[in-house]
Structures are given as structure tokens and as C-alpha cells.
């Protein structure tokens, strides 16, 4: 069985060019990750503010009766869950 070895050579300039492409690609990955982190943190702040505002405006009511004065308001309804359905 014959054996052979193939040798390829790259120039130093080619190696530098490949490294430069890697650096540029990494730079854009860093910029993209900063953008994604920035937008995600901004959304988290908006959600936290909305939850805080809602917690200050919520009114707890019973599920036993409907009160028309609560129409359009943020309510927290509680009940025992053992009521029969009418209908």
C-alpha cells in the first residue's frame, strides 16, 4: 500500500487576513450582544414599573357578587370555588 502526505502552505498575510476577519466578526458579536442586553433590561424595567403600578391600584373583591362600580378597574377576585353554575 502506498502512502503519501499532502502539505499545504499558507502565507503569513493569509493568516493575518483570517485573524482580522475573526476580530471583526467578534466585534460585531459584542455589539449585537450589548444591544440585546440593553433592550432586554429596558423591557424588564417597564414590566417591573407596570407591576408596581398595578399593585398600588388593585382592589380585592369577593367572587360572590358583581359590583358595577368596579367596571374597568383592576380587581383581584377571590372565592372558595364551590359555587354551582347557573345557566
Q: What is the pLDDT of residue 86?
A: 59
- pLDDT tens digit string along 30-79? 999 999 999 999 999 999 999 999 888 898 888 888 888 988 889 988 87
Terminal alpha carbon distance of the chain: 89
- Domain limits of the chain? 15-78
Q: What is the pLDDT of residue 83?
A: 61
Q: What is the pLDDT of residue 87?
A: 52
Grid cell 466585534 in the structure block, residue:
27
| DSSP per residue, 37-55 | HHHHHHHHHHHHHHHHHHH
Lowest model confidence (mean pLDDT) among 8-12, 37-41, 79-83 = 79-83
**pTM as predicted:** 0.54
Q: What is the pLDDT of residue 85?
A: 63
Amino acid at each position: 500500500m502506498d502512502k503519501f502526505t499532502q502539505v499545504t502552505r499558507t502565507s503569513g498575510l493569509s493568516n493575518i487576513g483570517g485573524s482580522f476577519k475573526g476580530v471583526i466578526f467578534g466585534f460585531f458579536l459584542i455589539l449585537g450582544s450589548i444591544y440585546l442586553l440593553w433592550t432586554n433590561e429596558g423591557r424588564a424595567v417597564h414590566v417591573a414599573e407596570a407591576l408596581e403600578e398595578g399593585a398600588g391600584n388593585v382592589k380585592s373583591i369577593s367572587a360572590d357578587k358583581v359590583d358595577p362600580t368596579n367596571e374597568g378597574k383592576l380587581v383581584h377576585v377571590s372565592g372558595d370555588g364551590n359555587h354551582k353554575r347557573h345557566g
